[in-house]
Structure 1
Amino acid sequence: MLSQPEQTNQPSAEHSEGLQDSRRRLWASLTLLFGIGMSVLDSSMTNVALPAIAKDMDVSAAAVVWIVNAYGLTLVMTLLPLSAVGERTGFKRLFRYGLSLFICASVASSFAPSLPVLLVCRVLQGLGGSAIMCLFGALVRHIYPPKHMARGIGMNAMMVGLMSVIGPTIGTFILSISNWHWIFLINLPIGAIILLGVKYLPDVSPVKGRFDWNSAMLSMVTVGLLIVGIDYSSTYVWQSACLIVFGILTGIVLVRRSYQQPAPLVPVDLLQIPAMRFAIAASLCTFSAQMATFVSLPFYLQQEMSRPLSSVGMLMAGWPLGAALIAMVAGRLSNMFPVAALCGVGAGAMAIGLLVIVLAPASINDIWLMMAMVLGGVGFGFFQTPNNRVIIGSAPKHRAGALGGLQATTRVFGQTFGAAMVASAFSLSVSSGPTLGLSVGVTFASLAVLVNVIRHRQTDVSRTGG
């Protein structure tokens, strides 16, 4: 017998239209803002610390990469199940528990004596991070009134971009004055401050109903098999193919099961909303383009453009800097112009910026490369805020929790798929791999433009009754 949540205990009018108390809304928005920012900062600093951890623990580079993989895989596998947990326990409670687990696991990671212990701590940290990230869409929906929603999404996009820029710098600074243990330990004071703001988050009544454990397990198996299969598709071809096939078969069983439910753990009901389908498809393409770009660029700038490592970091900072600068502007414009048009322009700017880098000669001045990177980042930020507004605004309010899980899963899956495509490009040709990888980014960005052109035309047809 399937376990279904009853769609009762709808949010009050206050929460349906966001928090009306401006003071509480400010503190709630800051709590969410810095909660998301902390998880981004942790990821970017951890990447910088990998060589130091490998040296200190005397493990190989291939082994130490699992510090990142353990966190990322746990995160993506649990986003949908934890979003369903949040609907049943309450968003505020899950945020508090997730943040507390993230802080405790961070402290444990800092004292880990060996790689296996550190990997266990990173899995726990991934669970805590997943509990925070899966609630983003739901909390934005209940914190901001409709007229302020675009601004709230823009602020969070700006925070993500800012933390992506300064994270490696902060991580490098910490390593220069101390050791890798402090990379994790710094989450303790940051997290403790964020915990003080949890009380300001909206009180949303949980839905009634048992948790669907069978769908949760099927979801985790499906996503896990697909992610691992895609990740290793260029190295272990046949084994990866088997994992992907099994993942698809499990996914088919899961989707069929979900269609029988009024409010399923895997939100197939939300994907029946046309605006949601287009927004999710476009988001998948842009995040694939983003990750393909960031995996390829270090190799491309050093091998094809002959840039020193010091210049590579500076040039790559242009992307998140551009995204952070445009995020708030894009939020305001989404109140004035059609979202499909804004998203199409943003995806187009991404494609043009990447194309300039691919076609530029090695002798080009760094200023032009930086401008191309900033253009790509501006396009990415110009796309994300309006598109996220559509995703968050299209779902019924009682499905806000499932929406957050779907949104986060789309992002992580898109990034994984983009990285896997670049890995496949490198396996085809080591010498041309960086160029092929950037071309993958251009292709995905162009697909996002196509999705938005179709979305814009269908919106025009529906308005004219055609």
Structure 2
Amino acid sequence: MNAEKDGLPMPRRLLAISAVSFGQALCIMDGSVANIVLPTIASDLRVDNSAVVLVVTIYQLVLVMGLLPLSALGDKIGHNRLYRLGLLLFSIATGLCFFAHNLPLLLAIRALQALGAAAVLSVSMAIVKAIYPAHQLGRGLALNTIVGASAAALAPTLGGFILGVAPWPFVFVIGAPLGIISLLLDKALPPSEPKGGTYDLWGALLCAAMFGLTIVGIEYANQGGALKGAAAIVVAGLLVGYFFVRRERGRTRPLMPIDLLSQPQLALPTAGAALIYTGFTILIVMLPFQLQLAHGFSPMEVGTLMASMPIASFFVAPVAGILSDRIRPDRLALFGSLISVMSVAALAQVPADARQLDILWRLVLLGMGVSFFTAPNTRMFIGAVPHDRTAAASGLIATTRLMGQTLGATAAATLLALGFNESLISHMTVVILLLLAGATCTARASTSKIQDNVAVLTR
């Protein structure tokens, strides 16, 4: 049986998807839990609050810089081998957190963690595609999403509990059981033959510099740095990106998957993902301000209300994944974007004396809408990618998500700085981004119909 086309047999399929999902959840959980422990780290290491934020920033920065270069390395040495190496590096770096007695050492360890996480995340979708047969890919992606969403949702709660009974380094080993399970089950992963060839080291450095400079410039502006300096850093990143993309054009297997993005059926889901993650992040950042300042909810109440979104996603994601195997994914994704638009519009109309239930149903609706968009949209993208380019596609998906989140956080900071924290302007910004995400689904459906008609005429 060809594993790439037919997937793995049961029960090996279940063991394999558990292995890759738990490994991915470990990396997501560690990235999500860091915010909880920052004040404690600042006090213990005797550093300023503004400096300790680098513990989060360095993780995100190295992660984005490493995803595409490492996905190309995964093609060269084999997806499974890179996955195991990444998980091992992440685990070693996590143990080193116990020896971080100053901030520079902790930042170096966090960078190592991020490098390991990038190796895991850069090939995880490629492994998932090899695990499931084509007609069941949606449910495999949905299960993978459930584990990741659950890890992100549970991380702050578990981190707060651990912080109450143990020193802060223990918070970073919160996902250790998941890593152990993943390593024990990794023999069930589908075979992945190395493709060999030379590794484009110069291209990898340019790619990392492009994303690194751009994100550093954005973060510098977010932290109140000089606007001219921030703009200069971003422009430098864009210039590096220009030369990098020019260099990649015409290559048979470009490190930056330009060959994939040149195809509308792949470029449109990528654009849709970037738009939905940007809009969702804007709302997530600004929503606490609305709920606390405009409606008077306590921080604990806000946290409880916002937890409703990942909980809704937990239940809706598998349904959306299964349906995407039976119904055209572009229609499901369009439905999800419209549900999301309705929920954001409803949030903009919340009365000043709203009760928790008035907020709760709107947020549950938003969680459902985002799940109904992301699961089919990912299904559209990864399902249309050739088997020999799945690692590049996996890296592109993860990079798109992180860049969308970065742009969303920047846009939210800008809106807050302009005083739009309780304004209709912020909600309208999110609505426009969600509508544009839905438009990519309509455009993809039209493109597919045109391609089908052309295929019929040329027979």
| TM-score, normalisation: structure 2 | 0.95
Q: Who is 1:179 aligned against?
A: 167
Deviations 1:228-260 (A, max 9, x none): 223333533211211222222211111111112
Q: Could you tell which deviates more after superposition, 15-24 or 53-62?
A: 15-24
Worse-superposed segment, 282-291 or 156-165? 156-165
Partner residue of 1:401?
391
Q: How does 1:253-272 map to 2 (within 5 A)?
A: 253-272=243-262
Q: SS at 1:360's partner residue?
A: coil
Conserved? CA contact 1:110–1:185, under 8 Å: no
CA contact (8 A) 1:106 1:187 kept: no
Aligned positions of 1:102-141 closer than 5 A = 102-141=90-129
The structural deviation recorded for 1:324 is: 1.6
Which residue does the alignment assign to 2:21? 33
> 1:456 maps to which residue?
445
Kindly provide the amino acid, as one letter, of the partner of residue 294 in structure 2.
E
> 2:386, 2:173 → 1: CA distance?
39
2:196 match: secondary structure: coil
Mapped to 1, the partners of 2:429 and 2:41 lie a distance apart of 32
Among 274, 291, 297, the residue aligned to 1:284? 274
Aligned to 2:352: 362
Deviations 1:416-455 (A, max 9, x none): 01111111112222x6467644443223212212222222
Equivalent in the alignment of 1:274: 264
* Distance (whole Å) between structure 2 residues aligned to residue 432 and residue 293 of structure 1: 10
Aligned counterpart, 2:435: 446
Q: Contact 1:299–1:434 at 8 Å: present in 2 too?
A: no
Render the CA deviation track for 1:6-29: whole Å, top value 9, x for unaligned: xxxxxxx62322433312211111
Q: Relative to structure 1, is the Cα distance of residues 222 and 233 closer, same or farther in structure 2, using a 3 angstrom cutoff?
A: same
Task: Please name the residue that 2:76 is paired with.
Answer: 88
Question: 87-96 or 454-463: which moved more?
Answer: 454-463
Q: Tell me which residue corresponds to 2:374.
A: 384
* Identity %, equivalent residues: 35
| Count of aligned positions | 453
Alignment partner of 1:58 is 2:33: no
Q: 1:402 Cα deviation (Å)?
A: 0.8
For residues 111 and 193 of structure 1, the distance between their equivalents in structure 2, rounded to whole angstroms, comes to 25
Following superposition, the deviation at residue 413 of structure 1 comes to 0.6
> Is the 1:288–1:414 contact (alpha carbons within 8 Å) kept by the matching residues of 2?
yes
* Aligned-partner SS, 1:202: coil
For 1:163, the aligned partner's letter is A
> Residues of 2 paired with 1:385 and 1:463: CA distance?
24
Distance (Å, rounded) in 2 between the aligned partners of 1:297 and 1:419: 12
SS in 2 for 1:197: helix
Displacement of 1:459 in angstroms is 3.1
Mapped pair 1:334 → 2:320: no
2:210 aligned with 1:219: no
- Structure 2: unaligned runs, 5 residues or longer: none
**Normalization by structure 1: what TM-score?**
0.93
Structure 1 residues 58 and 433: alpha-carbon distance in aligned structure 2, compared to 1, 3 A threshold: farther
Moved over 6 A (4+): none
Q: Is the 8 A contact 1:302 1:308 kept in 2?
A: yes
Larger mean Cα displacement after TM superposition, 157-166 or 394-403: 157-166
Distance in 2 of aligned mates of 1:373 and 1:238: 38
Give 1:390 deviation, angstroms. 1.2
Give the counterpart of 2:183 among 195, 202, 211.
195
Alpha-carbon contact 1:267-1:406 (below 8 Å) kept: yes
Counterpart code for 1:46: A
Unaligned runs of 5+ in 1: 1-12
User: Which residue in 2 is equivalent to 1:151?
Assistant: 139
1:425 paired to 2:425 = no
